[in-house]
């Protein structure tokens, strides 16, 4: 019998009110693991633990913080292949991308281990004799950290590391689709020696854990990365209680190709920007704006380049694109392919469901032409391997 991985609250590993199954999108017969889902009451307990730990942690020595962050960095980097494999297995990005993301996460903690030793203020001249003016930045308190599934270790790292570096306490809610990587990161953070309550992991649904964090008066600030729709909800809830928040949401990023562009470089930039990571990143450049003099050559060369992209199991050597993360995201991608055709765009390549050796959410990269700026496929974030010209 499998034991579900636990949440970490007030210095203890605890069960939840339910269990989520972490499924490999490259092989839906493969269960990565089972993870405890925290309840609203447990989330409240995590906030209370963080609040209780804040006075001491906010006054902790800079060297202590630096040492702890350095330990986290060292273990992440020492285990980058193992953690990268776990990340790719549960999220679906290729193994080189997974290892690269883990490496970046380790570097982020290493960077803030250094920053902890040089936290500075500012001193300025005063217009009043005998009066000094000094400005220092103070830790906020309890930080609710809500992260997405598409970068399951890098984004948590670039939120958790600075929060701890500057003396804040953390309640971390990872995306429900990627609890495995989040749990592994939490174990590393715990082993580094943080005092009880400074760091808490609460896995679970946004409607339970996320809502509790947004509306809790003792959560001083929320940092959120995810969809625009959810970001609006975050802003509304936190603003209503006069809390602080930071949002990083989606985008529809353009890549402009002019007549005098190097065709080979332009095609590689477009391929990487639109299709790698299966297009599942807010920085994807899926809106290709191409001038008339190079348009036909660019489309022809890009279409030819797309034929060479291998879509397969994320852990398989030679794979360029792994699967879409889950059925819901695949359905969204397919719906936008229909929207594009209905709007009058021409699907010149891809957009087909693919069968592989294992059952998974495989979709060939798609390219639309004859697109104008009023079409939804040109304006709305699809979050899949779909590009428009």
Tokens of 118: 């040089």
Residues 230 and 383 sit within 8 Å (Cβ to Cβ):
no
Q: Can you tell me the distance from the alpha carbon of 286 to that of 6, in angstroms, rounded to the nearest whole number?
A: 38
Of 101, 169, 282, 381, the catalytic one is 282
Tokens of 315: 């852990």
pLDDT value, residue 3: 85
Q: How sure is the predictor about 48, in pLDDT bands with cuts at 50, 70 and 90?
A: very high
Q: How sure is the predictor about 2, in pLDDT bands with cuts at 50, 70 and 90?
A: low
Q: Per residue in 69-110, pLDDT tens?
A: 999 999 999 999 999 999 999 999 999 999 999 999 999 999
Q: How much is the average pLDDT of 258-266?
A: 98
**CB-based contacts of 371, cutoff 8 Å, min separation 6:** 340, 345, 377, 378, 388, 389
Helix and strand numbers (H, E) in the chain are: 12, 16
282 noted as active-site residue: yes
Percent of the chain whose predicted confidence (pLDDT) is above 90: 96
Sheet holding 12-14, edge to edge: 12-14, 7-9, 199-201, 169-173, 142-146, 221-225, 244-248
What residue ranges do the domains of the chain occupy? 7-248, 254-388
DSSP codes, 334-387: HHHHHHHHHHT-EEEE---B---SS----B--EEEES--TTSHHHHS---SSEE
Percent of the chain whose predicted confidence (pLDDT) is above 70: 99
Of 64, 211, 248, 343, the catalytic one is 248
pLDDT value, residue 366: 99
Q: Per residue in 304-327, pLDDT tens?
A: 999 999 999 999 999 999 999 999
**CB-based contacts of 51, cutoff 8 Å, min separation 6:** 141, 142, 169, 218
pLDDT at 1 over 70: no
Q: Looking at 130-139, 217-226, 260-269, 362-371, which range is the least confident one?
A: 130-139
Of 3.10.105.10, 3.40.630.30, 3.40.50.150, 3.40.605.10, which CATH number belongs to 7-248? 3.40.605.10
Q: Per residue in 132-175, pLDDT tens?
A: 999 998 999 999 999 999 999 999 999 999 999 999 999 999 99
Helix (H) or strand (E) holding 36: strand 27-37
User: Which among 257, 254, 105, 122 is positioned nearest to 181, based on CA atoms?
Assistant: 105
| CATH code that applies to domain 254-388 | 3.40.309.10
pLDDT at 181 over 90: yes
pLDDT value, residue 224: 98
**CB-based contacts of 331, cutoff 8 Å, min separation 6:** none
SS3 content of the chain, % helix, strand, coil (to 5): 45, 20, 35
pTM value is: 0.95
Q: How much is the average pLDDT of 254-277?
A: 98
**CB-based contacts of 280, cutoff 8 Å, min separation 6:** 92, 93, 150, 324, 325, 329, 383, 384
Q: Is 51 helix (H, G, I), strand (E, B) or coil?
A: helix
């Amino acid at each position: 019998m499998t034991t579900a991985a636990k949440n970490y609250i007030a210095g203890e590993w605890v069960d939840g009110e339910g269990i989520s199954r972490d499924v490999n999108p490259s092989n839906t017969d493969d269960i990565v693991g089972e993870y405890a889902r925290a309840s609203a009451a447990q989330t409240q307990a995590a906030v209370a633990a963080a609040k209780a730990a804040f006075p001491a942690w906010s006054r902790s020595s800079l060297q202590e913080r630096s040492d702890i962050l350095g330990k986290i960095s060292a273990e992440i980097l020492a285990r980058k292949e193992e953690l990268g494999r776990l990340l790719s297995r549960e999220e679906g990005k290729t193994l080189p991308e997974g290892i690269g993301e883990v490496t970046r996460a380790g570097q982020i903690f290493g960077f803030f281990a250094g920053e902890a030793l040089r936290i500075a203020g500012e001193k300025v001249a005063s217009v009043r004799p005998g009066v000094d003016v000094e400005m220092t930045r103070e830790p906020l308190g309890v930080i609710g950290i809500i992260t997405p599934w598409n970068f399951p270790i890098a984004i948590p790292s670039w939120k958790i590391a600075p929060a701890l570096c500057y003396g804040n306490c953390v309640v971390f809610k990872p995306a429900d689709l990627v609890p495995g990587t989040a749990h592994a990161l939490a174990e590393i953070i715990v082993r580094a020696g943080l005092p009880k309550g400074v760091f808490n992991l609460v896995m679970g649904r946004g409607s339970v854990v996320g809502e509790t964090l947004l509306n809790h008066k003792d959560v001083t600030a929320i940092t959120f990365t995810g969809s625009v729709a959810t970001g609006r909800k975050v802003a509304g809830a936190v603003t209503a209680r006069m809390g602080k928040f930071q949002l990083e949401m989606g985008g529809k990023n353009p890549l402009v190709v002019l007549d005098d562009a190097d065709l080979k470089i332009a095609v590689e930039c477009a391929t990487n920007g639109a299709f790698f990571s299966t297009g599942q990143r807010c920085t994807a450049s899926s809106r290709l704006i191409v001038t008339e003099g190079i348009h036909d050559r660019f489309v022809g060369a890009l279409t030819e380049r797309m034929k060479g992209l291998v879509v397969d199991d994320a852990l398989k050597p030679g794979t360029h694109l792994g699967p879409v993360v889950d059925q819901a995201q695949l359905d969204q991608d397919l719906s936008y392919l229909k929207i594009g055709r209905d709007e009058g765009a021409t699907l010149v390549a891809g957009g087909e469901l693919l069968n592989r050796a294992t059952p998974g959410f495989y979709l060939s990269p798609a390219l639309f032409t004859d697109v104008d700026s009023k079409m939804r496929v040109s304006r709305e974030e699809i979050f899949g391997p779909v590009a428009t010209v």
